[in-house]
Amino acid sequence: MAFRTVIIGGDAAGMSAATRVRNLRAEAEVVVLERSRFTSYSACGIPFLVGGLIAGGVEALVARSPDEHRRRGIDVRTNHEATVIDPDAGEVEFVDEHAGRIERIGYDELLVATGGKAIRPDLPGIELPFVHGVQSLDDAQALLGLAEAGCRRIVVVGGGYIGLEMAEAYIERGCTATVIERAAQPLHVIDADFGGRVADAMRSHGIDVRCGVGVDGFEPGAVLTTDGPVEADLVVLGIGVEARSELAGAAGVELGVRDAIVVDDRQSTNVAGIWSAGDCATSTHLVTGRQVHIPLGTYANRHGRVAGINMAGGDARSPGVLGTAITKLCSLQIGLTGIRLDEASDAGLDAVATTIDATTVAGYLPHATPMTIRVVAERGTGRVLGAQIIGGPGAAKRIDTIATAITAGMTLAEVADLDLAYAPPFSSVWDPVAVAAREAIKAV
């Protein structure tokens, strides 16, 4: 029998791995079991699809279709749902939904790339059909269909970024949108004062952001909150994403933080022959060295790639992650990398946060908008640990400079001295990132 790699899940992590194995090991059989009819799609694009920015329906979010993968020699089996992993037999049981039967397939190497799923709190009515996650292209199809069918009152439960992006998308469609957030501010990945600015920007855009409000349940046409019922034609879950790890867990694969599959830097699990990558797996944080569960498409792609190389017999390593992320919400861009001050404290690091206000471009240009940068650095050493940026157009992608500096282990003094690009349409003459670092030197 030929060497056979089986991959459960045909999205970013799974198909990155499949492509690597295919390219590195010509004789290998590469089988992908995918529950849906899609492969390699951009879930991050769903808000833009629903918002009407993208023509062509959900297919427009597909980077490479099952047929394209098949033409490259990958045996993609769509509508095939894996149901059991049997490490002792070296087999996976699955349901072939085309044929309507259960089968088993043997593997030499197995990748679990089952991804994530929207967190569904255990509340009365959570299973009502008007409550949707934003995770798969089937979700996308449903959400787009509702937008096109004239669905008018949208309630987003939870202030995670995909939920906030969806609220904005539906506003673009002429709907009303309400965000129900339990905490004092939405977007918990950033500090509360920055989250407050996001809430204000969204309110200015016509989105009803209600903070400090809990959800008690759902009934047809309404979300029941601690603040009374809120009428809704559609509920979008925006609480977050959890690892889809039950299958692996049941097979004895070790689960860790937030029930994500524990992997080492080669994407190997504790069970011989079983690998994992993507939203279902942990990563190692570059700053704290801790295992974290940060479900991002960037990690799915790169960790899938590493898994594929290793499954094919190579030796690749996943570098630690920084949780670098970016989003645009109404008039604001938000970027973050590394750790917040509270995370530094949790990790036992003695850190200081420094905040500066600047403008996105030279202040004398008419399109200059405010931008705020917060840098977190270790007291004593001055090592940069994290940063958040919030502001108008051009603000947030600057976070990459700080992500690069953190990766290189730079100190604030080194960041302050960086030779960054200046011209009036792009920056002030003292680049705001360098200004933030110089200001932070005084604090550490």
Enzyme catalytic residues: 44
- Asked if 430 touches a copy of itself (CB under 8 A), the answer is yes
Residue among 396, 437, 440, 444 that touches a copy of itself (CB under 8 A): 396
**Residue 422 found at the interface with a copy of itself (CB under 8 A):** yes
Binding residue (CB under 8 A) for a copy of itself from 213, 237, 387, 399:
399
From the list 19, 185, 401, 411, which residue makes contact with a copy of itself (rule: CB under 8 A)?
401
For residue 400, state whether it binds a copy of itself (rule: CB under 8 A).
Answer: yes
Shortest reach from residue 14's CB to a copy of itself, in Å: 14
Nearer to a copy of itself (CB atom), residue 350 or residue 417: 417
* 384 near a copy of itself (CB under 8 A): no
Segment near a copy of itself (CB under 8 A), from 106-114, 175-183, 196-204, 292-300? 292-300
Among 9, 323, 386, 391, binds a copy of itself (CB under 8 A): 323
Of the pair 48, 94, the CB lying nearest a copy of itself is at 48
The yes or no reply on residue 136 touching a copy of itself (CB under 8 A) is no
Is residue 39 within 8 Å of 59, Cβ to Cβ? no
Interaction of residue 302 with a copy of itself, rule CB under 8 A: yes
- Reduce the secondary structure of the chain to three states and give it as a string: CCCEEEEECCCHHHHHHHHHHHHHCCCCEEEEEECCCCCCECHHHHHHHHCCCCCCHHHHHECCCHHHHHHCCCEEEECEEEEEEECCCCEEEEEECCCCEEEEEECCEEEECCCEEECCCCCCCCCCCCEECCCCHHHHHHHHHHHHCCCCEEEEECCCHHHHHHHHHHHHCCCEEEEEECCCCCCCCCCHHHHHHHHHHHHHCCCEEEECCCEEEEECCEEEECCEEEECCEEEECCCEEECCHHHHHCCCCECHHHCECCCCCCECCCCCEEECCCCECEEECCCCCEECCCCHHHHHHHHHHHHHHHCCCCCCCCCECCCEEEEECCEEEEEEECCHHHHHHCCCCEEEEEEEEECCCCCCCCCCEEEEEEEEECCCCEEEEEEEEECCCCHHHHHHHHHHHHCCCEHHHHHCCCCCCCCCCCCCCCHHHHHHHHHHHHC
In the list 12, 17, 251, 341, the residue contacting a copy of itself (rule: CB under 8 A) is 12
Do 253 and 225 form a contact (C-beta atoms < 8 A)? no
324 contacts a copy of itself (rule: CB under 8 A): yes
* Closer by beta carbon to a copy of itself, 9 or else 87: 9
Q: Which residue from 9, 133, 308, 335 is in contact with a copy of itself, where contact means CB under 8 A?
A: 335
User: Mapping DSSP to helix (H, G, I), strand (E, B) and coil, where does residue 86 land?
Assistant: strand
Tell me which of 150, 221, 319, 380 binds a copy of itself, using CB under 8 A.
319
User: Residues 7, 32, 33, 61: which binds a copy of itself (CB under 8 A)?
Assistant: 61
The yes or no reply on residue 424 touching a copy of itself (CB under 8 A) is: yes
Q: Is 348 in the site for a copy of itself (CB under 8 A)?
A: no
Instruction: Decide: is 366 part of the binding site for a copy of itself (CB under 8 A).
Output: yes
Interacting span for a copy of itself (CB under 8 A) from 109-117, 180-188, 205-213, 392-400: 392-400
List the one residue out of 89, 83, 92, 232 whose CA is nearest residue 153: 232
| In the complex, minimum distance from the CB of residue 252 to a copy of itself, in angstroms, rounded to a whole number | 31
Contact call for residue 286 and a copy of itself (CB under 8 A): yes
| Binding test (CB under 8 A) with a copy of itself, winner from 3, 24, 57, 60 | 60
Which stretches of the chain bind a copy of itself, using CB under 8 A? 12, 42, 44-45, 48, 53-54, 60-61, 286, 296-298, 301-302, 319, 321-328, 335, 337, 362, 364-366, 394, 396-401, 403-405, 407-408, 410, 414, 417-427, 429-431, 433
